[in-house]
Amino acid sequence: MKLLHRPFSAVGTTPLAAVELGLGLAAVPLFDQVAGWIIPLFFAAGVARLLMNRPGARLPSLPVKALLFGLGVGAIFLTYHSFVGVAPGLSALVLLVSLKLLETNTVRDFQVLALLGYFLALCDLFFTQTLGLWLYVAAVFTLLTAALVHFHRGTGTAGLLRSARLGGLLLAQALPVIALLFVFFPRSRVPFLQFSQPPISATGMSDRLEPGGVGSLALGDEVIFRAEFPDGNAPSMSAMYWRGSVLWRGDGLKWWRGPELPAERRQGQLGGAAIRQRIVLEPHGAHWLFALDRPATEIRGAFLDAGGFLQTQRPVLRQLQYEVFSRPDNRESTLPGIQRQATQRLPTRVSPQVQTLVSGWRTAHRDDRAVVDAALHHFRAEHFTYSLSPGTYGPDALHEFLFERRVGFCEHYAAAFASLMRLAGISSRVVIGYHGGEYNARGHYVTVRQSDAHAWCEVWLKGEGWLRVDPTEVIAPERISAGFAGFLENREAANPTGRVPSSARTGWREVRRELRLAWDNLSYQWDLRVLGFDDDSQRSVLANLGLGNFRWAEITFTLLVGSSLLLSALGLWQTRVRQPRRDPVELGYTRFCRVLAAAGVAREPWEGPLGFSERAAARFTSRAAAIREIAALYTRLRYAPTPPSASAFLQAVRAFADHPADLK
């Protein structure tokens, strides 16, 4: 029966293996988005299809494929209890690709399989669009195109590299059309497709600050944002405090946002030279924006929340570019009553030793600034230690930190200092964000990473307003002056084992750092120039091209006409009549016959090379040996199972033709 027919494989093993490799590479980035059992099924289908190319092996029948399809669809429903959604849809797509692999046996099947590979590779870009992933997808496209070329050429394994070069050339010819569409295709402020889910705590930011909350992020290397200073007035690394959020409620070493307070209006409250920043923020799923302390202007789609930090109206679910101005000098003169009430709420659990310590400062100093200096002196004099792993603290964490352990990370010192100030009657709050960053000299920007997460304190001083106080600067000044990465490098350079790092190891570290910075700059420029090419950028480019007054309908029409003309030109170039390349052996034999014809012995159309050579040798007995040698070489080149090199034949023809006078 036709339904039970199991055909033999008609697809070559080499192109089949190439397209399977391309499919596998296209599917790998999607594996964390599909059902776990789909992955082994996908690879098993690929291996099974290759095994079906063995002599005598047959492809599965239609009932077997239908059964596999039914089982796969049922398993997807049992896994997700629905067919609607990104994960079920991608799982179904990978399942269908696996089944298509098993039945591929015709030209049409192979082409459909390659097209599915293209689609899978494009699906990779639905979730992230980093430069590395784009290059990866381009490599997958090249491999799939090479498999198509190799399949249609029908050559052996030796021609695979040539097929890859031709596939790359075909894709390169599409670049002008891609560039044309990139510049002129109408853009919208709303993303066309957004499949990625907001990551949880991707920036290390949270509405709560607890011991270990920031320290656990210190070794993370994820990029949070990159910032340029277009006016060239970037502050020093030690002064780069990137404001993220303000915590108003605290209890010892634990702090949180607290009640909602009215948003601020900063006009006239900040002074100093304006510092303009152009920031590219990675998606984090929350509402925070970052700017140098302190942001003085609002941006589109965001507002200044209580405490002077920027908040977006919608979660940041994709890469966001914005420009903001900050001013370093605070000119606030009045603390709103609702903020004063929120910043003087005392901790609920205060030990007698803590109360005695604060009372001593207040008794000795009537001025609030003097109390602040006394608290900082206490941290310095009592030999507190800055540590990435201070351990956990008990219920009375403030007392334990101040009098027993004396070890902590930035959040311990900021939270403890803010609590001590409130006990001393000074309004205080905790600010969380980032400090410093890594300067990239190639791109002239600063990269802020997860490891730069930081917390500091602000106190309200009469006549001065909110004053930033960073106890970490007292405990570990190199953390502030050199940044977190510099702090770790300096501590490693101290080398408590006493061994001196080798110059080779130090040099290799510098080489790796330079390579990393170069790649980071390429990624940043990609994000800024390509992924950041929005509707505003497009309008600016069109205005520079003199198309600023054109309507979108006219531009779309021009785009369609231009694309059609470009594709037509490429098609004509591909189908142009090419002069066939002449075979050098054939050219040599033609020259040999022409010399003999000029001497009076012309080759008849029906005459073979050996018969013709015998007739010519009988006529020119002095050159008979040379004539027979040339005919024998030509015959072996044309008919021998393993033809010899053509150089001997061409040399013999050249020597024969150079002495036509001997043919007498």
Enumerate the active-site residues: 410, 454, 470
Report how far apart the first and last C-alpha atoms of the chain are (Å, whole number).
Answer: 77
> Which residues make beta-bridge pairs with 254?
251
| Token pair listed for 566 | 């470009």
b (16+ CB within 10 A) / e for 275-296: bbbebbbbbbebbbbbbbbbbb
Is the CB of residue 246 less than 8 Å from the CB of residue 284?
no
Residue type, 520: D
Q: Distance (Å, rounded) from C-alpha 163 to C-alpha 630?
A: 36
Q: Is the dihedral of CA 623, 626, 629, 630 positive or negative?
A: negative
Is the CB of residue 225 less than 8 Å from the CB of residue 290?
yes
Q: Distance (Å, rounded) from C-alpha 402 to C-alpha 423?
A: 14
Q: Distance (Å, rounded) from C-alpha 266 to C-alpha 264?
A: 6
Please confirm whether the linkage preceding 512 is cis (ω < 30° from 0).
no
| Token pair listed for 430 | 């905790």
Q: Distance (Å, rounded) from C-alpha 334 to C-alpha 427?
A: 12
3-state SS assignment for residue 322: strand
- Give the strand pairing for 465-469 and 453-461: antiparallel
Return the biggest CA–CA distance within the chain: 132
Q: What is the DSSP string of 221-275?
A: --EEEEEE-TTS-PPPGGG-EEEEEEE-EEETTEEE--S--PPP--TTTEES--E
Q: Distance (Å, rounded) from C-alpha 538 to C-alpha 188?
A: 10
| Token pair listed for 219 | 């070794």
Give the Å distances, CA to CA, from 517 to 196, 248, 453.
Answer: 27, 38, 20
Is the CB of residue 487 less than 8 Å from the CB of residue 479?
yes
| Token pair listed for 509 | 């570290």
| Positions of E strands within 306-415 | 309-312, 320-326, 329-330, 385-386, 407-408
Q: 3-state DSSP: the chain helix, strand, coil percent, rounded to 5?
A: 50, 15, 35
> Tokens 């890594």 correspond to what residue?
438
Helix (H) or strand (E) holding 469, with range, is strand 465-469
| Token pair listed for 51 | 């095994």
Helix (H) or strand (E) holding 458, with range, is strand 453-461
3-state SS assignment for residue 483: helix
| Token pair listed for 88 | 């079920």
Give the Å distances, CA to CA, from 326 to 292, 439, 649.
Answer: 6, 19, 82
Q: Is the dihedral of CA 74, 79, 85, 86 positive or negative?
A: negative
Residues in the chain: 664
Cβ of 147: how many Cβ atoms within 10 Å?
28
Is the CB of residue 429 less than 8 Å from the CB of residue 307?
yes
